[in-house]
Structure 1
């Protein structure tokens, strides 16, 4: 597809097919491994089982992600009824029962993570107008080790990033429609749905609210068109919001030994009766769930840089890929250990961080020095989304983890495409389309090569201590072997931590 054409040629379909195949191997193929639960799967699987058994519960996160886990198990039917009841009376899986399968619970996160690659391909295509560049930029998503480990799991980030990416793709199409035709109304309605699904998976998806004032600016002076779009988006949002909570509330009718959580007196009374929860009580039920979420969040400890096994990290570490998290490990012969880690591909994360820096620099030069930009509105839009998310997350004082950066990471991929699109000249040399393709090709080769180098950390391939240390090229990652000392200079600093909190000796 050339920049001046809207039709797909055979070569374009071939490139799209390549993206589909490559992303299948990194996100969907072999998604059933490892067979053990890792990271927050130990929490989300119990929530999914509660849905499967009509058990009432409250939880930190909104319902969509866990409903998808339950739907996947219902569809795949990988466990018998007894195994699908085994964790419903607990909030945390302490030990995986022999024979219990995660194949169903992981199905939709893995599938949606695979499809996300296609959605991002079309986002890059909308920006660059060429399938070859869209393919190369898709490498940022397809060949990141951290994403390929985390997203296919029975976790919430896979569905959330899919819905977020879909929202961004719809936004890119809406912004080019200047009249309230059928296409505009349908896309606005769908945007309301995808926005609702994003933040009903995890609250952090609320940052997409910024899309609506951005659309107002982009459609100005046709503010009436924006109002029409917002009406349709609101109805899409409202239908989805009510529908999701209806499913959640109607499934949770049987009170278990976990009790009533933070249910109000009215909600308790309805739960104790034999009748379905009346629709008139839904606002109260939703409010009670939100109150529990806030209460739960307030009880989460703060980041402790003196803690021996602290897996959290400050938000300003994240663009550099710090800090790594070990999800699982397995000992082998000859002092080798297999690791399943949330470990970034530095070529992906550092390139994306550099793109963010260049994007903000281009905008600064545009406003202060009059630099002309081809896609200034889009650069503004995605910089606002990135900055808005990072500002909001920086205000949270509970411990946060590197995977909380995945949404702005996706934004940074888009900024990378926008930045390359803006480059016209480097020094004395003109920078045309062929030069951009060559640069993108070189970067893609680098991304793929570093992916292969760090891939053992995403597949539990046995590594010696020396082999792991070769990959620990950046101290802030805290990438270290089992039992080794931490090498992050800013965690456990002597000026802050007391002697009796020294993680190296664990002695007073």
Structure 2
């Protein structure tokens, strides 16, 4: 068995990780049989794709298109009149068909987020070359309560993270093969990364932060020329890498919008979304797949998205029901969001089933700790000129610390109200960075596969799992009494509110 495991470990680890991930993300994802949070927006918009209705929305359309595919393939709503979904952009629970289920709409987010953990594992394994360490730190993604509850719904973030992690994986794969095996970075590497980034942007534009990966990959492959300032070689390479990177991103954006516009073959209930008369005329003529319609539709969609973004209110912490929060508080899971609750009285006790967006505190706080250590390491190198014991690993730490900080600084420039789940991309960068700074600190022990280090790493993963289980009533809507709720109300800044 030992020989068998060593021989096939590179297959066994990802298979086991995938099975564990699906066992966490799939159970009860069909419940509640009611919409919560942004499902009220995304479910009716996904249905518009199914019925061929023209619509516009503040987010790019790919996420809703995939939800529509999930509903067509796996939905259980045959024979249900869904006309109400076409006549509104926000479907209230009272207006939804009472027997309607939401499994099909939720299916893409659940499946794609559950599978994305394999990319996360691959990223860490490529850099550290230690499967056991990569598997242990993958628990940060599988067993984070916030990621699980938000991705087990018809939300965009689980779908987006699939493309985000895919892009990062192929970036890391290309870079590590160049660093460790001297395999030249090919133009096809830029193309592949560009496709993943383009698809991620077409779910939510926050994935545009991944455009930094192109610059980072270029620096990796051209570092020898950068050190000697060989401008001619650098410019020559730019002439080929820039088109190879940018064109796939642009083509993905245009292709998704082309399909979105082409599928909008009718206008329902006079919902025109401020579309121009020329665009509406093309729809009435049944000419939605023509290049002219695409030009008109793309212009009107971008205009609608821009105007909608300008109209979103700013954060107002004085509002008693404000669910938004400042980005600076997100690393500590401030502030949580109550998605839904159901109150019942059983044997004289009040039992409440909550759906709360709250992160696993071990995961989120450890990520913060890792960032503090990484920033300290970077300062010690570049301010105090201290030596580093592993130059390659040090630069990987710089890369993911930089991605984290770049994302957060970008988010801080946005004036509209933002929510805790907008932190997910930074959380992923921070979780990868945590595994790298851990490897850096215990470098010799990790390289030697020291038994005590392996045990300690496994114990950390076990702690992550245990705390996930402790907070799982908020994730899976298990009933809690008031005392059980207060046991999980660890910090005032979480803003958890008990239902009495």
Residue equivalent to 1:9: 7
Q: 1:28 aligns with which of 4, 20, 26?
A: 26
How many residue pairs were aligned? Answer: 475
Residues 271-316 of structure 1 show CA distances to partners (whole Å, capped at 9, x for unaligned) of 3323335213423422221221121122222111111111111001
Q: 2: distance between equivalents of 1:180 and 1:267?
A: 52
Residue equivalent to 2:230: none
The alpha carbon displacement at 1:177 in A equals: 5.0
CA contact (8 A) 1:219 1:226 kept: no
Against the structure 1 CA distance between its residues 380 and 284, is the aligned structure 2 distance closer, same or farther, given a 3 Å change threshold? farther
Residue equivalent to 2:211: 209
Matching of residue 129 in structure 1 with residue 129 in structure 2: yes
Residue equivalent to 2:228: none
- With normalisation by structure 2, the TM-score equals 0.90
Against the structure 1 CA distance between its residues 97 and 182, is the aligned structure 2 distance closer, same or farther, given a 3 Å change threshold? farther
- With normalisation by structure 1, the TM-score equals 0.88
Matching of residue 218 in structure 1 with residue 211 in structure 2: no
Moved more, 446-455 or 25-34: 25-34
Residue equivalent to 2:351: 336
Against the structure 1 CA distance between its residues 81 and 276, is the aligned structure 2 distance closer, same or farther, given a 3 Å change threshold? farther
Gaps of 5+ in 1: 1-6, 484-508
Q: 2:362 aligns with which of 309, 328, 347?
A: 347
Gaps of 5+ in 2: 226-232
Q: 1:416 aligns with which of 424, 430, 434?
A: 434
The alpha carbon displacement at 1:416 in A equals: 0.6
**How do 1:300-315 residues align onto structure 2 when only pairs under 5 Å count?**
300-315=312-327
CA contact (8 A) 2:439 2:446 kept: no
Matching of residue 93 in structure 1 with residue 116 in structure 2: no
Residue equivalent to 2:102: 102
Against the structure 1 CA distance between its residues 391 and 258, is the aligned structure 2 distance closer, same or farther, given a 3 Å change threshold? farther
Q: 2: distance between equivalents of 1:177 and 1:350?
A: 32
Residue equivalent to 1:453: 470
Q: CA RMSD in A?
A: 2.4
Q: 1:442 aligns with which of 453, 459, 468?
A: 459
**How do 1:161-180 residues align onto structure 2 when only pairs under 5 Å count?**
161-176=161-176, 178=178
Residue equivalent to 2:58: 60
CA contact (8 A) 2:116 2:162 kept: yes
Q: 2: distance between equivalents of 1:238 and 1:92?
A: 30
Q: 2: distance between equivalents of 1:227 and 1:416?
A: 36
Against the structure 1 CA distance between its residues 8 and 28, is the aligned structure 2 distance closer, same or farther, given a 3 Å change threshold? farther
Residues 195-219 of structure 1 show CA distances to partners (whole Å, capped at 9, x for unaligned) of 0011110011111111122222222
Residue equivalent to 1:4: none
Q: 2:416 aligns with which of 386, 398, 415?
A: 398
The alpha carbon displacement at 1:432 in A equals: 5.8
Against the structure 1 CA distance between its residues 226 and 166, is the aligned structure 2 distance closer, same or farther, given a 3 Å change threshold? farther
SS in 2 for 1:336: strand
Residues 161-186 of structure 1 show CA distances to partners (whole Å, capped at 9, x for unaligned) of 00000000011122245599898333
Against the structure 1 CA distance between its residues 62 and 454, is the aligned structure 2 distance closer, same or farther, given a 3 Å change threshold? same
Against the structure 1 CA distance between its residues 228 and 180, is the aligned structure 2 distance closer, same or farther, given a 3 Å change threshold? farther
Matching of residue 363 in structure 1 with residue 351 in structure 2: no
Q: 1:388 aligns with which of 383, 406, 409?
A: 406
